[in-house]
Chain A
Amino acid sequence: MSDWRSKVGMADGLESLNHNFLTSNIEELVKWARRRSLMPATFGLACCAIEMMATGAAHYDLARFGMETFRASPRQADLMIVAGRVSQKMAPVLRTIYDQMMEPKWVISMGVCASSGGMFNNYAIVQGVDQVVPVDVYAPGCPPGPETLLHAILTVHELIRTGELTRRRDSAGGGAGIHLEIEAGPTPVAVRPGGGR
C-alpha cells in the first residue's frame, strides 16, 4: 500500500512530499483553503478578549476573512488566539487545549501579557505564553486594538501562504523548543527545556 506513495515521493506521508509541478497547484489550493477559513478557538482570558470580540463584531468584522466562527471545541479549531494574561493555574489548561487541536494549527499571542508577561512581571503570571505553546505571531498592545489584531491575523495568513504545506516547525527553527511533561492533578505544568513540540 505504501508503494504508490513512494512513487509520488510521499513515502513518509506529507512530510516527505517532493515539491514538483504536479503538486504545486494542489499545494496552492490547500494553502488558499486553509488561510481563507481559519477557525479561531475561543481562548479569551482577560482584557484582550474584549478587543478580540470587538474584532469579531460588526465594525471590524472578522467575517470578511472567513473567521467569524469562533469554535468552542478545540477539535474543530485551527487558530488559537491566546488573548490575555496566562496565570500559573491556567497554564496547564492552555496546554491541554492546544494539544487537543488538530494539525495544522497556528497560535497568535495577543497582547503583551501573552507575549511576554506584559506589565505583570511577578509570581502569578507566566512570562510569555511561548513558555507553554509554540507561538507563530506576537501581537503587541495593551490591549492591541482591533487593527493590530487584524494585522496579526493577516500575518498568519501570509505565513500560511508562503510557508511549508506541513508544519515542519522543527527544521525551520520555529517554536520555543520546549518539551513538557504534564503531571496529573491541579499542579502547574513542569517545564523541561529541550527539543520537540
Chain B
Amino acid sequence: MSIASRQVSARLAAGESILRMSEAEAEVVEGVIDPEDETMIMNMGPQHPSTHGVLRILLELNGENVLRSKPIIGYLHTGMEKTAESLTYVQGATNVTRMDYASPLFNELAFSLAVEQLLGIEIPERATWIRMMMTELNRMASHLLFLASNGMDLGAVGMMLYGWKEREEILRFFETVTGLRMNHNYIRPGGVAADLPDGWEDGVARILVALPKRLEEFDTLMTGQPIWRDRTQGVGLITTPEAVALGATGPILRSTGAAWDLRRDQPYLAYDQVDFDVVVGTYGDTFDRYAIRLNEIRESMRIVEQCLEMMPTGDYRTQDPKVTPPPRARIDESMEALIHHFKIFTEGFHVPEGEAYAAVESPRGELGCYIVSDGSPKPLRMHIRAPSFVNLQTVPHMLTGGMIADAVAIISSVDPIMGEVDR
C-alpha cells in the first residue's frame, strides 16, 4: 500500500470537510438554521465539559450530522517561543516543559537534545538511561490520563478515577526523583538535574507490579464492552495517505497501519539497546487509537523493566565545565568554582552558532525542537514542533459524516493538549 499520494493531498487540500469561516462571521450566523439547506453553525467550546482544554470547534450541522467543522485554537497562546528568546539555555527547560503539560519530560528532552546537538557534546550513559526511563514512565502517565479522560468522555465515568489513581503512583515517583509532580525541569542540556535517589528501584518496581492487573481491569471495563465498541469502532476513520498528507504522527498514524515510531525508526537515547514492540492498528478508527495507547503502556512497562535491570552507573550529567556547574560543596572552598557557578546560572553558557532539529516520539507523535543559535547564551529562535498542533488538522476530516456524539469520541481520541497546540 502506498503511503502517500498526490490525489489524496489534493482532495484534502480542497477542504470539503473544513468549514472555512472567520470567527467574526461565525458569531453572526451561529445557532441560526439556514432555511435553504437546513444547516446550522454550532459552536463547541472553548469551555466545555470534556477535559481537552480550551479547544473550540465550529460545527456545521444538519440535525445531528456533522457536515463540516473547523477547530479554532489560540485560547492558550502563551508566547512561549518569544519567551524562549529571552531565557538562557539553562532556563529554557522550564519554559518548554509547560507546553505539553501531560508529558512534560518529553518537551525537555527534545529541547535538551537539540541544544546538545549544537553544543556537540556527548552525555554520559547513565544520564541517557535515566532520561529514557523517566520519559517512558511519563508516557505511561500520559496514556493513563488519556484512558481516564477518554473513558469519561464516552460515558465510563468510573474510568476517570481509575486512571488517575494509577497516575498518582507514577507522579509520586516523579516527586521523589525530580521534586515536582508536573513540569519537572529535570532533563536539562548536559544530562539530568539530579541523580536518582537511593531506593528508586523500589519506587519503580511498585509501579510495575501494580499496573498490569489494572490494565487488565481497564481492558475488561472498556475493550470488552459492547457499548464501548459500538461507540468507537468505525468512528473517526482515517487512512494512511490522509494521515501522512496531514503530517499526523503518533497513535493517529499508527492506527492506520503505518508502523512509524521514532524510537525504532530514528532511534535516540538508548532505544536501540532495548527490546520493545511498536503497536499498530488496522482500521484507523477511534477504537484502534484507544487500543494502541493501552498497549503502549504495556510496551513502556517492558522498557522501564529493562532500564531497571540495565541502568549503568556513572555520572548523571556531563562533566564538561562549559555546560555544567561545579559540585555544590566546592563552592564553599574555591573562588573559581563560585564564579563558575555564578556565570552559568546568571549569564548561561554560550552555544556555538548554528541550527539543529531534534525529534522525539512523544505520546502524541513527533515532538521536535528547532533551535537557531547565534553564539550567545540565549537562543535566537526556538520552535517546538508540537504533535497536537498538526494532529488537530485531522479532526475535520474525521468528524465529517458523523454525529455530534461521535465528535466527542473523535476529539478525545486525537488526545490534543492545548498547551502545545497554542504554545
The reply, when asked whether chain A contacts chain B directly with Cβ atoms under 8 A, is yes
Query: Which residues of A are in contact with B by a Cβ distance under 8 Å?
Result: 42-47, 49-51, 53-54, 57-59, 70, 72, 84-85, 87-90, 93, 97, 119-120, 122-125, 142-143, 145, 184-186
- A47-B98 CB under 8 A given contacts A57-B168, A58-B161, A142-B183: yes
Q: Judge whether B322 is part of the interface by a CB distance below 8 angstroms.
A: no
User: Is residue B182 within 8 Å, beta carbon to beta carbon, of the partner chain?
Assistant: yes
Which residues of B from 167 to 183 have beta carbons under 8 Å from A?
167-168, 171, 181-183
Check if B95 is an interface residue, CB within 8 A of chain A: yes
7 residue pairs of the A-B complex, CB under 8 angstroms, read A46-B101, A50-B102, A59-B168, A89-B77, A90-B46, A120-B80, A120-B83
Chain B 391-423 interface 0/1 with A at a Cβ cutoff of 8 Å (1 = within):
000000000000000000000000000110010
Query: Do A72 and B168 form a contact, CB below 8 Å, given A90-B54, A186-B23?
Result: no
Q: Are B102 and A42 in contact (CB under 8 A)?
A: no
C-alpha spacing A142/B182, complex, angstroms: 8
Which residues of chain A come closer than 8 Å to B48, judged between CB atoms?
Answer: 42, 72
- Shortest distance from the beta carbon of B185 to any chain A beta carbon, whole Å: 10
Closest to A186 in B: B23
Q: Are B165 and A124 in contact (CB under 8 A)?
A: no
Task: Identify which of B27, B167, B181 contacts A145 (C-beta below 8 A).
Answer: B181
Evaluate contact between B160 and A57: CB separation under 8 angstroms: yes
The yes or no answer to B164 lying at the interface (CB within 8 A) is yes
Question: Using Cβ atoms and an 8 Å threshold, which residues of chain A touch B74?
Answer: 87, 89
The answer to whether B95 and A72 have CB atoms under 8 Å apart is no
Q: Using Cβ atoms and an 8 Å threshold, which residues of chain A touch B167?
A: 54
Cα of A177 to Cα of B81 in the assembled complex, Å? 33
Report yes or no: B422 in contact with A87, Cβ–Cβ below 8 A: yes
- Decide: A59 near B76, CB < 8 A? Known: A46-B418, A47-B419: no
Chain A: minimal CB distance from B140 (Å): 15
A-B Cβ contacts below 8 A, count: 103
What are the 9 tightest A-B residue pairs by CB atom distance, in nearest-first order?
Answer: A57-B164, A72-B49, A124-B79, A47-B101, A122-B79, A90-B75, A186-B23, A58-B161, A59-B168
**B165 touching A59 by the CB < 8 A rule?**
yes
Question: What residues on B are CB-neighbors of A89 within 8 Å?
Answer: 74-75, 77
A47 to B102, CA, bound (A): 8
**Which of A54, A87, A93, A143 is within 8 Å of B47, CB to CB?**
A93
* Given A45-B54, A50-B182, A125 and B79 contact (CB-CB distance below 8 Å): yes
Give the distance in Å from the alpha carbon of A185 to the alpha carbon of B47 in the complex: 17
**B residues apposed to A, CB below 8 Å:** 23-24, 27, 46-49, 51, 53-54, 74-80, 82-83, 94-95, 98, 101-102, 145, 160-161, 164-165, 167-168, 171, 181-183, 418-419, 422
Taken together as a complex, chains A and B put the C-alpha atoms of A75 and B225 apart, in Å, by: 35
**Contact present for A90 and B76 (CB under 8 Å):** yes
Shortest C-beta distance, A142 to chain B (Å), equals 6
| B27 cross-chain contacts in A, Cβ below 8 A | 184-186
For the complex formed, measure the closest distance between the CB of A136 and the CB atoms of chain B, giving whole angstroms.
20
- Shortest C-beta distance, B276 to chain A (Å), equals 26
* Residues on B with beta carbons closer than 8 Å to the beta carbon of A45: 53-54, 75-76
CA distance A93 to B24 in the complex (A): 15
Q: Using Cβ atoms and an 8 Å threshold, which residues of chain A touch B168?
A: 54, 57, 59
- The answer to whether A58 and B47 touch across the interface, beta carbons within 8 angstroms, is no
**Using Cβ atoms and an 8 Å threshold, which residues of chain B touch A145?**
181
CA gap between A50 and B24 in the complex, in Å: 31
B contact residues around A58 at 8 Å (CB):
161, 164-165
Task: Please report the C-alpha to C-alpha distance between residue A176 and residue B54 in the assembled complex, in whole angstroms.
Answer: 25
CB contacts (< 8 Å) of A185 on chain B: these are 24, 27
Chain B hits for A186, CB < 8 A: 23-24, 27
A47 to B78 Cα, complex, angstroms: 13
Q: Which residues of A contact B183 (CB under 8 A)?
A: 47, 142-143
A47 to B183, CA, bound (A): 8
- Are B76 and A85 in contact, with the CB atoms below 8 A? yes
A53→B75 contact, CB < 8 A: no
Distance A119 CA – B92 CA, assembled complex (angstroms)? 12
Q: Please indicate the chain A residues that have their CB under 8 angstroms from the CB of B102 in the complex.
A: 50
Task: Report how far A185 CA is from B28 CA in the complex, Å.
Answer: 9
Q: B78 contacts which chain A residues (CB < 8 A)?
A: 85, 87, 120, 122, 124-125
B79 contacts which of A42, A123, A143 (Cβ < 8 Å)?
A123
Docked pose: A51 CA to B145 CA in angstroms = 12
Which B residues are CB-close (under 8 A) to A53?
51, 160, 164
* Residue in B23, B74, B98 whose Cβ sees the most chain A Cβ within 10 Å: B98
Q: B94 contacts which chain A residues (CB < 8 A)?
A: 119
Known: A90-B75, A143-B182. A43 touches B51 (CB 8 A): no
Closest Cβ of chain A to B159, distance in Å, is 11
Report the separation of the CA atoms of residues A58 and B165 in the bound assembly, to the nearest whole angstrom: 6
Known: A47-B182, A72-B49, A93-B47. 13 other contacts (CB 8 A): A44-B51, A47-B183, A50-B101, A72-B48, A85-B76, A90-B75, A119-B83, A120-B78, A122-B83, A124-B77, A142-B183, A143-B182, A143-B183
Instruction: Please report the C-alpha to C-alpha distance between residue A124 and residue B53 in the assembled complex, in whole angstroms.
Output: 17
Residue with the highest number of chain B CB atoms closer than 10 Å, among A57, A93, A184: A57
